[in-house]
Amino acid sequence: MVVRRLHGMQGMNVWYAITMAVCGCLGLLMLGFISYWCFKLRQDKRRRSAIIMSARGGMHESSHLLQRASLDWPSSLTSATLPMSSSSTSLYLSPIPEELRSMCSEDDEFDEANRDKEFVRDFCERSDEYLWLDKPALYMGKDRSKRMYLLGRASLSHLTSARFGLMGDRGRFTQLLCSIFPTTALQDKDVPVLRAYFHYVHDTCPHVLPVLDIQLMAPTNKILVVTPYVPQGSLKDYIYHRCKTAMVQIPYHLKYKRHGCGTPLGHSTLARYGRDILLGMQELQHAGLPYHQLHSGNVLLHGDQATLSGYEAVFFQRSPPTTQVETPVKLFGQLFFEMVFGVEWSPSRLNPNGTVSFGSYQPPTDVVRDVFNAIFQPFQHTASIESLLALPLFQKDPVPRLHRSFARRDPFRVDSGTSLPDTTKPKLPQDMETLVQAALDWSNPQQDPMLSHHHVVVQAA
Protein backbone atom coordinates (compact mmCIF):
# COMPACT_ATOMS: atom_id res chain seq x y z
CA MET A 1 0.00 0.00 0.00
CA VAL A 2 2.78 2.36 0.87
CA VAL A 3 4.50 1.65 -2.45
CA ARG A 4 1.31 2.30 -4.45
CA ARG A 5 0.73 5.53 -2.57
CA LEU A 6 4.25 6.66 -3.34
CA HIS A 7 3.81 5.88 -7.05
CA GLY A 8 0.55 7.83 -7.09
CA MET A 9 2.17 10.83 -5.47
CA GLN A 10 5.00 10.73 -8.02
CA GLY A 11 2.48 10.69 -10.88
CA MET A 12 0.68 13.66 -9.40
CA ASN A 13 3.99 15.52 -9.10
CA VAL A 14 4.76 14.89 -12.78
CA TRP A 15 1.39 16.19 -13.91
CA TYR A 16 1.73 19.14 -11.57
CA ALA A 17 5.14 19.97 -13.04
CA ILE A 18 3.81 19.72 -16.60
CA THR A 19 0.87 21.97 -15.73
CA MET A 20 3.12 24.56 -14.11
CA ALA A 21 5.46 24.50 -17.12
CA VAL A 22 2.60 25.08 -19.53
CA CYS A 23 1.25 27.89 -17.37
CA GLY A 24 4.71 29.42 -17.19
CA CYS A 25 5.08 29.34 -20.99
CA LEU A 26 1.67 30.93 -21.44
CA GLY A 27 2.59 33.57 -18.89
CA LEU A 28 5.81 34.36 -20.72
CA LEU A 29 3.97 34.63 -24.02
CA MET A 30 1.41 36.94 -22.45
CA LEU A 31 4.15 39.03 -20.89
CA GLY A 32 5.92 39.30 -24.23
CA PHE A 33 2.72 40.37 -25.97
CA ILE A 34 2.03 43.01 -23.32
CA SER A 35 5.61 44.29 -23.59
CA TYR A 36 5.39 44.52 -27.38
CA TRP A 37 2.03 46.30 -27.14
CA CYS A 38 3.46 48.82 -24.68
CA PHE A 39 6.48 49.32 -26.93
CA LYS A 40 4.27 50.06 -29.94
CA LEU A 41 2.20 52.52 -27.94
CA ARG A 42 5.34 54.30 -26.78
CA GLN A 43 6.72 54.33 -30.32
CA ASP A 44 3.51 55.83 -31.70
CA LYS A 45 3.56 58.45 -28.97
CA ARG A 46 7.13 59.39 -29.81
CA ARG A 47 6.27 59.57 -33.51
CA ARG A 48 3.36 61.91 -32.86
CA SER A 49 5.47 64.12 -30.62
CA ALA A 50 8.23 64.17 -33.25
CA ILE A 51 5.73 65.28 -35.89
CA ILE A 52 4.51 68.08 -33.61
CA MET A 53 8.05 69.23 -32.83
CA SER A 54 9.05 69.17 -36.48
CA ALA A 55 5.93 71.15 -37.34
CA ARG A 56 6.89 73.80 -34.78
CA GLY A 57 10.46 73.89 -35.97
CA GLY A 58 9.65 73.96 -39.68
CA MET A 59 11.70 70.87 -40.52
CA HIS A 60 9.39 69.64 -43.25
CA GLU A 61 10.48 68.91 -46.76
CA SER A 62 10.14 71.62 -49.36
CA SER A 63 6.56 72.18 -50.38
CA HIS A 64 7.01 71.35 -54.05
CA LEU A 65 8.06 67.83 -53.06
CA LEU A 66 4.91 67.25 -51.00
CA GLN A 67 2.26 68.41 -53.44
CA ARG A 68 -0.56 65.91 -53.67
CA ALA A 69 -3.30 68.17 -55.03
CA SER A 70 -3.87 71.67 -56.32
CA LEU A 71 -3.17 73.57 -53.12
CA ASP A 72 -4.18 76.91 -54.61
CA TRP A 73 -6.19 78.30 -51.69
CA PRO A 74 -6.42 82.08 -51.28
CA SER A 75 -3.57 83.71 -49.42
CA SER A 76 -6.02 85.38 -47.04
CA LEU A 77 -6.96 82.05 -45.48
CA THR A 78 -5.30 81.12 -42.22
CA SER A 79 -4.61 77.72 -40.75
CA ALA A 80 -7.83 77.87 -38.76
CA THR A 81 -10.03 78.60 -41.79
CA LEU A 82 -8.40 76.34 -44.36
CA PRO A 83 -10.89 73.75 -45.65
CA MET A 84 -10.00 70.10 -45.27
CA SER A 85 -12.05 69.01 -48.25
CA SER A 86 -13.91 70.42 -51.19
CA SER A 87 -16.84 69.38 -53.33
CA SER A 88 -14.72 69.66 -56.46
CA THR A 89 -12.33 67.06 -57.75
CA SER A 90 -9.41 68.72 -55.95
CA LEU A 91 -8.79 67.66 -52.37
CA TYR A 92 -7.45 70.35 -50.06
CA LEU A 93 -4.75 69.10 -47.74
CA SER A 94 -3.51 70.73 -44.57
CA PRO A 95 -0.56 72.94 -45.51
CA ILE A 96 2.81 72.33 -43.95
CA PRO A 97 4.38 75.08 -41.80
CA GLU A 98 6.62 76.24 -44.65
CA GLU A 99 3.53 77.12 -46.66
CA LEU A 100 1.82 78.78 -43.68
CA ARG A 101 4.79 81.08 -43.14
CA SER A 102 4.90 82.15 -46.76
CA MET A 103 1.18 82.21 -47.46
CA CYS A 104 0.96 85.96 -47.11
CA SER A 105 3.64 86.46 -49.73
CA GLU A 106 2.48 87.44 -53.19
CA ASP A 107 5.06 85.35 -55.04
CA ASP A 108 6.77 82.66 -52.99
CA GLU A 109 8.38 79.33 -53.75
CA PHE A 110 5.10 77.49 -53.32
CA ASP A 111 3.44 79.64 -56.00
CA GLU A 112 6.42 79.02 -58.27
CA ALA A 113 6.01 75.27 -57.81
CA ASN A 114 2.33 75.53 -58.70
CA ARG A 115 3.17 77.52 -61.83
CA ASP A 116 5.69 74.88 -62.87
CA LYS A 117 3.11 72.17 -62.29
CA GLU A 118 0.54 74.06 -64.35
CA PHE A 119 3.08 74.52 -67.14
CA VAL A 120 3.76 70.77 -67.25
CA ARG A 121 0.03 70.05 -67.25
CA ASP A 122 -0.55 72.48 -70.13
CA PHE A 123 2.43 70.99 -71.97
CA CYS A 124 0.84 67.55 -71.75
CA GLU A 125 -2.55 68.86 -72.85
CA ARG A 126 -1.04 70.48 -75.95
CA SER A 127 0.97 67.38 -76.80
CA ASP A 128 -0.36 64.25 -78.49
CA GLU A 129 2.40 62.09 -77.02
CA TYR A 130 2.24 62.73 -73.27
CA LEU A 131 -0.38 62.34 -70.58
CA TRP A 132 -0.53 64.24 -67.30
CA LEU A 133 -0.83 61.61 -64.54
CA ASP A 134 -1.49 64.07 -61.69
CA LYS A 135 1.11 62.40 -59.49
CA PRO A 136 2.99 64.08 -56.63
CA ALA A 137 6.47 65.37 -57.30
CA LEU A 138 9.20 62.75 -57.06
CA TYR A 139 12.00 62.52 -54.51
CA MET A 140 14.96 61.83 -56.78
CA GLY A 141 18.48 63.17 -56.97
CA LYS A 142 20.63 65.34 -54.76
CA ASP A 143 19.53 68.62 -56.35
CA ARG A 144 16.38 69.54 -54.41
CA SER A 145 15.71 72.58 -56.60
CA LYS A 146 14.99 70.40 -59.65
CA ARG A 147 11.34 69.35 -59.78
CA MET A 148 10.31 66.04 -61.32
CA TYR A 149 6.91 64.68 -62.35
CA LEU A 150 5.68 61.44 -63.84
CA LEU A 151 4.11 61.60 -67.30
CA GLY A 152 2.42 58.99 -69.44
CA ARG A 153 2.86 58.25 -73.11
CA ALA A 154 -0.45 58.61 -74.88
CA SER A 155 -0.02 56.87 -78.23
CA LEU A 156 0.77 53.51 -79.84
CA SER A 157 -1.49 51.55 -77.53
CA HIS A 158 -0.80 48.30 -79.38
CA LEU A 159 2.71 48.15 -77.94
CA THR A 160 3.19 45.91 -74.93
CA SER A 161 5.26 46.33 -71.80
CA ALA A 162 8.15 44.48 -73.44
CA ARG A 163 8.93 47.64 -75.39
CA PHE A 164 9.63 49.95 -72.51
CA GLY A 165 9.28 48.04 -69.27
CA LEU A 166 6.32 49.71 -67.53
CA MET A 167 2.81 50.12 -68.90
CA GLY A 168 -0.34 51.75 -67.59
CA ASP A 169 -3.35 49.99 -66.19
CA ARG A 170 -5.01 49.85 -69.61
CA GLY A 171 -1.84 49.52 -71.64
CA ARG A 172 -2.29 52.99 -73.13
CA PHE A 173 0.94 54.64 -72.07
CA THR A 174 4.36 54.13 -70.58
CA GLN A 175 5.75 56.21 -67.76
CA LEU A 176 8.19 59.02 -68.45
CA LEU A 177 10.05 61.42 -66.19
CA CYS A 178 9.64 65.17 -66.62
CA SER A 179 12.42 67.23 -65.00
CA ILE A 180 12.36 71.01 -64.64
CA PHE A 181 15.82 72.52 -64.31
CA PRO A 182 15.78 75.75 -62.29
CA THR A 183 17.94 77.91 -64.59
CA THR A 184 19.30 77.67 -68.07
CA ALA A 185 21.32 79.81 -70.46
CA LEU A 186 19.53 78.52 -73.53
CA GLN A 187 17.51 80.75 -75.80
CA ASP A 188 14.77 79.97 -78.29
CA LYS A 189 17.17 79.70 -81.23
CA ASP A 190 19.27 77.10 -79.43
CA VAL A 191 16.43 74.67 -78.69
CA PRO A 192 16.10 73.13 -82.21
CA VAL A 193 19.83 72.40 -82.39
CA LEU A 194 19.86 70.92 -78.90
CA ARG A 195 16.80 68.83 -79.67
CA ALA A 196 18.52 67.50 -82.79
CA TYR A 197 21.62 66.72 -80.73
CA PHE A 198 19.57 64.70 -78.24
CA HIS A 199 18.06 62.76 -81.13
CA TYR A 200 21.58 62.09 -82.37
CA VAL A 201 22.55 60.75 -78.94
CA HIS A 202 19.37 58.68 -78.92
CA ASP A 203 20.27 57.03 -82.22
CA THR A 204 23.98 56.46 -81.66
CA CYS A 205 24.30 55.82 -77.90
CA PRO A 206 22.43 52.66 -76.85
CA HIS A 207 24.01 52.65 -73.37
CA VAL A 208 22.84 56.19 -72.59
CA LEU A 209 19.44 57.24 -71.28
CA PRO A 210 17.84 59.25 -74.11
CA VAL A 211 16.30 62.69 -73.79
CA LEU A 212 12.97 62.38 -75.56
CA ASP A 213 11.89 66.02 -75.57
CA ILE A 214 12.82 69.46 -74.26
CA GLN A 215 10.70 72.58 -73.91
CA LEU A 216 11.90 76.04 -72.93
CA MET A 217 9.79 77.82 -70.31
CA ALA A 218 10.35 81.29 -71.71
CA PRO A 219 8.73 83.41 -68.97
CA THR A 220 10.76 81.78 -66.19
CA ASN A 221 13.95 80.92 -68.12
CA LYS A 222 13.60 77.26 -67.13
CA ILE A 223 13.84 74.11 -69.21
CA LEU A 224 11.55 71.09 -69.26
CA VAL A 225 13.26 67.78 -70.06
CA VAL A 226 11.46 64.47 -70.72
CA THR A 227 13.37 61.21 -70.25
CA PRO A 228 12.33 57.58 -69.72
CA TYR A 229 11.40 56.65 -66.16
CA VAL A 230 13.47 53.76 -64.80
CA PRO A 231 11.72 52.32 -61.73
CA GLN A 232 14.40 49.71 -61.07
CA GLY A 233 16.61 52.34 -59.47
CA SER A 234 20.26 53.26 -59.69
CA LEU A 235 23.51 51.47 -59.09
CA LYS A 236 23.71 53.23 -55.73
CA ASP A 237 20.43 51.61 -54.70
CA TYR A 238 21.77 48.24 -55.83
CA ILE A 239 24.99 48.55 -53.83
CA TYR A 240 23.47 49.84 -50.60
CA HIS A 241 20.24 47.83 -50.85
CA ARG A 242 17.98 50.84 -50.68
CA CYS A 243 14.35 50.64 -51.73
CA LYS A 244 13.62 50.95 -55.42
CA THR A 245 12.46 54.24 -56.85
CA ALA A 246 9.06 52.86 -57.78
CA MET A 247 8.35 51.55 -54.27
CA VAL A 248 8.85 54.50 -51.90
CA GLN A 249 9.74 58.08 -52.76
CA ILE A 250 12.28 59.19 -50.14
CA PRO A 251 14.37 62.38 -50.30
CA TYR A 252 17.97 61.82 -51.31
CA HIS A 253 19.44 63.23 -48.09
CA LEU A 254 17.29 60.85 -46.04
CA LYS A 255 17.50 57.83 -48.31
CA TYR A 256 21.30 57.65 -48.20
CA LYS A 257 21.84 59.12 -44.73
CA ARG A 258 24.36 57.00 -42.84
CA HIS A 259 24.11 54.24 -45.44
CA GLY A 260 27.38 52.73 -44.22
CA CYS A 261 28.94 49.92 -46.19
CA GLY A 262 27.15 48.24 -49.04
CA THR A 263 27.58 44.86 -50.64
CA PRO A 264 30.44 44.47 -53.15
CA LEU A 265 29.39 43.35 -56.60
CA GLY A 266 30.28 39.91 -57.86
CA HIS A 267 32.86 39.26 -60.54
CA SER A 268 30.37 38.78 -63.37
CA THR A 269 28.34 41.83 -62.28
CA LEU A 270 31.50 43.94 -62.14
CA ALA A 271 32.43 42.88 -65.65
CA ARG A 272 28.92 43.40 -67.05
CA TYR A 273 28.15 46.77 -65.45
CA GLY A 274 31.71 48.03 -65.88
CA ARG A 275 31.66 47.27 -69.59
CA ASP A 276 28.25 48.92 -70.02
CA ILE A 277 29.46 52.06 -68.25
CA LEU A 278 32.63 52.24 -70.35
CA LEU A 279 30.67 51.74 -73.56
CA GLY A 280 28.29 54.55 -72.57
CA MET A 281 31.23 56.83 -71.80
CA GLN A 282 32.78 55.96 -75.16
CA GLU A 283 29.52 56.71 -76.98
CA LEU A 284 29.18 60.10 -75.28
CA GLN A 285 32.81 60.87 -76.04
CA HIS A 286 32.17 60.13 -79.71
CA ALA A 287 29.20 62.52 -79.49
CA GLY A 288 31.58 65.25 -78.30
CA LEU A 289 30.44 65.19 -74.67
CA PRO A 290 32.83 64.01 -71.92
CA TYR A 291 30.85 62.41 -69.12
CA HIS A 292 31.77 64.43 -66.02
CA GLN A 293 28.52 63.50 -64.23
CA LEU A 294 29.55 59.89 -63.56
CA HIS A 295 28.65 58.54 -60.13
CA SER A 296 26.63 55.60 -58.85
CA GLY A 297 23.42 57.64 -58.63
CA ASN A 298 23.54 58.50 -62.35
CA VAL A 299 23.99 54.88 -63.45
CA LEU A 300 20.48 53.48 -63.86
CA LEU A 301 19.76 49.77 -64.02
CA HIS A 302 17.29 48.48 -66.57
CA GLY A 303 17.16 44.73 -66.44
CA ASP A 304 20.76 43.54 -66.42
CA GLN A 305 22.16 46.58 -68.23
CA ALA A 306 23.68 49.74 -66.78
CA THR A 307 22.56 52.96 -68.49
CA LEU A 308 24.16 56.39 -68.08
CA SER A 309 22.01 59.40 -67.25
CA GLY A 310 22.39 63.01 -66.15
CA TYR A 311 24.56 64.14 -69.07
CA GLU A 312 21.94 66.70 -70.13
CA ALA A 313 22.78 68.81 -67.06
CA VAL A 314 25.80 70.18 -68.94
CA PHE A 315 23.46 72.30 -71.06
CA PHE A 316 21.25 73.53 -68.20
CA GLN A 317 23.29 73.79 -65.01
CA ARG A 318 26.62 75.34 -64.20
CA SER A 319 28.90 73.57 -61.75
CA PRO A 320 29.98 75.47 -58.62
CA PRO A 321 33.33 77.25 -59.02
CA THR A 322 34.76 75.25 -56.11
CA THR A 323 34.05 71.90 -57.77
CA GLN A 324 37.19 70.07 -58.84
CA VAL A 325 36.77 68.66 -62.33
CA GLU A 326 37.99 65.08 -62.67
CA THR A 327 38.52 63.27 -65.93
CA PRO A 328 35.83 60.72 -66.87
CA VAL A 329 38.37 57.90 -66.54
CA LYS A 330 39.25 58.93 -62.97
CA LEU A 331 35.54 59.18 -62.17
CA PHE A 332 35.11 55.66 -63.48
CA GLY A 333 37.95 54.53 -61.22
CA GLN A 334 36.22 56.06 -58.20
CA LEU A 335 32.93 54.42 -59.18
CA PHE A 336 34.70 51.11 -59.76
CA PHE A 337 36.15 51.33 -56.25
CA GLU A 338 32.61 51.71 -54.88
CA MET A 339 31.44 48.75 -56.95
CA VAL A 340 34.31 46.49 -55.84
CA PHE A 341 34.34 47.25 -52.10
CA GLY A 342 30.83 48.58 -51.40
CA VAL A 343 32.09 51.87 -49.90
CA GLU A 344 32.25 55.34 -51.38
CA TRP A 345 35.49 56.75 -52.70
CA SER A 346 37.25 59.35 -50.57
CA PRO A 347 40.19 61.59 -51.54
CA SER A 348 42.26 60.03 -48.76
CA ARG A 349 42.38 56.82 -50.79
CA LEU A 350 44.74 58.47 -53.27
CA ASN A 351 48.46 58.39 -52.60
CA PRO A 352 50.64 61.43 -53.42
CA ASN A 353 52.02 59.66 -56.51
CA GLY A 354 48.51 59.00 -57.87
CA THR A 355 48.14 55.33 -56.94
CA VAL A 356 45.36 53.86 -54.79
CA SER A 357 45.78 53.21 -51.09
CA PHE A 358 43.51 50.24 -50.45
CA GLY A 359 44.13 50.10 -46.72
CA SER A 360 42.23 47.18 -45.21
CA TYR A 361 40.51 46.52 -48.55
CA GLN A 362 42.17 44.33 -51.12
CA PRO A 363 41.01 43.63 -54.70
CA PRO A 364 39.39 40.20 -54.91
CA THR A 365 41.21 39.09 -58.08
CA ASP A 366 44.21 40.07 -60.16
CA VAL A 367 42.08 41.25 -63.09
CA VAL A 368 40.31 43.70 -60.77
CA ARG A 369 43.66 44.96 -59.51
CA ASP A 370 44.74 45.45 -63.12
CA VAL A 371 41.84 47.87 -63.61
CA PHE A 372 42.95 50.00 -60.64
CA ASN A 373 46.56 49.92 -61.81
CA ALA A 374 45.51 51.06 -65.29
CA ILE A 375 43.41 53.97 -64.02
CA PHE A 376 45.42 55.22 -61.05
CA GLN A 377 48.89 55.25 -62.50
CA PRO A 378 51.75 57.15 -60.89
CA PHE A 379 52.79 60.61 -62.07
CA GLN A 380 49.30 61.52 -63.34
CA HIS A 381 49.25 59.20 -66.33
CA THR A 382 45.67 58.80 -67.53
CA ALA A 383 44.37 55.74 -69.31
CA SER A 384 41.87 55.92 -72.16
CA ILE A 385 38.45 54.34 -72.34
CA GLU A 386 39.58 52.11 -75.18
CA SER A 387 42.51 50.79 -73.14
CA LEU A 388 40.18 49.98 -70.25
CA LEU A 389 37.81 48.10 -72.55
CA ALA A 390 40.77 46.01 -73.70
CA LEU A 391 41.45 44.76 -70.16
CA PRO A 392 40.61 41.09 -69.47
CA LEU A 393 37.80 41.96 -67.03
CA PHE A 394 35.86 43.95 -69.63
CA GLN A 395 36.35 41.66 -72.59
CA LYS A 396 33.10 40.83 -74.32
CA ASP A 397 31.38 37.65 -73.17
CA PRO A 398 31.41 34.77 -75.67
CA VAL A 399 27.62 34.51 -75.34
CA PRO A 400 26.05 37.83 -76.40
CA ARG A 401 23.33 39.29 -74.22
CA LEU A 402 19.94 40.48 -75.38
CA HIS A 403 19.66 44.00 -76.75
CA ARG A 404 18.45 46.24 -73.94
CA SER A 405 19.14 49.80 -75.05
CA PHE A 406 16.47 52.48 -74.77
CA ALA A 407 17.03 53.38 -78.41
CA ARG A 408 15.85 49.92 -79.39
CA ARG A 409 13.00 49.80 -76.89
CA ASP A 410 11.54 53.20 -77.56
CA PRO A 411 8.29 52.81 -79.53
CA PHE A 412 8.78 56.18 -81.23
CA ARG A 413 12.19 55.29 -82.66
CA VAL A 414 13.12 52.81 -85.34
CA ASP A 415 14.95 49.69 -84.15
CA SER A 416 18.61 50.53 -84.60
CA GLY A 417 19.94 47.00 -84.13
CA THR A 418 23.34 46.52 -82.57
CA SER A 419 25.60 49.33 -81.51
CA LEU A 420 27.61 50.75 -84.37
CA PRO A 421 31.39 51.09 -84.08
CA ASP A 422 32.84 54.57 -83.98
CA THR A 423 34.07 54.33 -87.56
CA THR A 424 30.56 53.76 -88.95
CA LYS A 425 28.62 56.14 -86.71
CA PRO A 426 27.46 59.38 -88.35
CA LYS A 427 29.72 62.32 -87.70
CA LEU A 428 28.45 65.03 -85.39
CA PRO A 429 27.26 68.03 -87.44
CA GLN A 430 29.14 71.27 -87.10
CA ASP A 431 26.30 73.23 -85.49
CA MET A 432 25.81 70.53 -82.83
CA GLU A 433 29.54 70.33 -82.20
CA THR A 434 29.70 74.09 -81.71
CA LEU A 435 26.74 74.04 -79.33
CA VAL A 436 28.24 71.22 -77.26
CA GLN A 437 31.59 72.98 -77.01
CA ALA A 438 29.89 76.21 -75.97
CA ALA A 439 27.92 74.35 -73.29
CA LEU A 440 31.10 72.73 -71.99
CA ASP A 441 32.83 76.11 -71.80
CA TRP A 442 29.83 77.62 -70.02
CA SER A 443 29.52 74.81 -67.47
CA ASN A 444 33.24 74.76 -66.75
CA PRO A 445 33.72 76.08 -63.20
CA GLN A 446 37.14 77.48 -64.10
CA GLN A 447 35.53 79.94 -66.52
CA ASP A 448 35.13 83.60 -65.63
CA PRO A 449 31.77 83.89 -63.84
CA MET A 450 31.33 87.45 -65.10
CA LEU A 451 30.98 86.17 -68.65
CA SER A 452 27.40 86.61 -69.76
CA HIS A 453 25.32 83.74 -71.02
CA HIS A 454 24.69 85.05 -74.50
CA HIS A 455 28.43 85.24 -75.12
CA VAL A 456 28.79 81.53 -74.44
CA VAL A 457 25.74 79.81 -75.85
CA VAL A 458 25.60 79.55 -79.62
CA GLN A 459 22.74 81.17 -81.45
CA ALA A 460 21.73 78.57 -84.00
CA ALA A 461 20.51 79.80 -87.31
Nearest to 117 by CA among 96, 134, 93: 134
| pLDDT score for 461 | 31
Nearest to 281 by CA among 387, 426, 372: 387
Question: For residue 345, is pLDDT > 60?
Answer: yes
Q: For residues 305 and 314, what is the distance between their CA atoms, to the nearest angstrom?
A: 24
Give the count of beta carbons closer than 10 Å to the beta carbon of residue 120.
Answer: 22
> For residue 63, is it within any domain?
no
| pLDDT score for 270 | 92
> For residue 29, is it within any domain?
no
Q: Which domain does 369 fall in, by range?
A: 116-429
| pLDDT score for 385 | 92
Helix (H/G/I), strand (E/B), else coil: 368: helix
- In order of 64, 76, 115, the CA distances from 112 in angstroms are 9, 18, 5
Helix (H) or strand (E) holding 385: helix 385-389
| pLDDT score for 451 | 30
Question: pLDDT tier at 9 (50, 70, 90 boundaries)?
Answer: low
Helix (H) or strand (E) holding 439: helix 430-443
> For residue 343, is it within any domain?
yes
Q: How many domains does the chain have?
A: 1
Q: Please give the residue that has the higher pLDDT: either 401 or 100.
A: 401
* pLDDT tens digits along 261-309: 788 898 999 999 999 999 999 999 998 889 988 999 899 998 889 999 9
Question: For residue 82, is pLDDT > 70?
Answer: no
> For residue 59, is it within any domain?
no
* pLDDT tens digits along 27-61: 999 998 898 888 888 877 776 665 445 444 433 33
CATH code at position 368: 1.10.510.10
Question: pLDDT tier at 72 (50, 70, 90 boundaries)?
Answer: very low
Highest-scoring range by mean pLDDT, 153-157, 349-353, 420-424: 349-353
CB 172 within 8 A of CB 209: no
Q: For residues 83 and 78, what is the distance between their CA atoms, to the nearest angstrom?
A: 10
* pLDDT tens digits along 112-168: 778 888 888 888 888 888 888 877 777 666 666 677 888 888 754 433 333 344 344
Q: Across all residues in the chain, what is the average pLDDT? A: 71
| pLDDT score for 436 | 77
| pLDDT score for 424 | 58
Q: For residues 408 and 44, what is the distance between their CA atoms, to the nearest angstrom?
A: 50
> For residue 205, is it within any domain?
yes
> For residue 390, is it within any domain?
yes
Amino acid type, 460: A
> Poorest-confidence range of 61-70, 301-310, 344-353, 399-408?
61-70
| pLDDT score for 49 | 64
| pLDDT score for 320 | 65
> For residue 363, is it within any domain?
yes
> For residue 129, is it within any domain?
yes
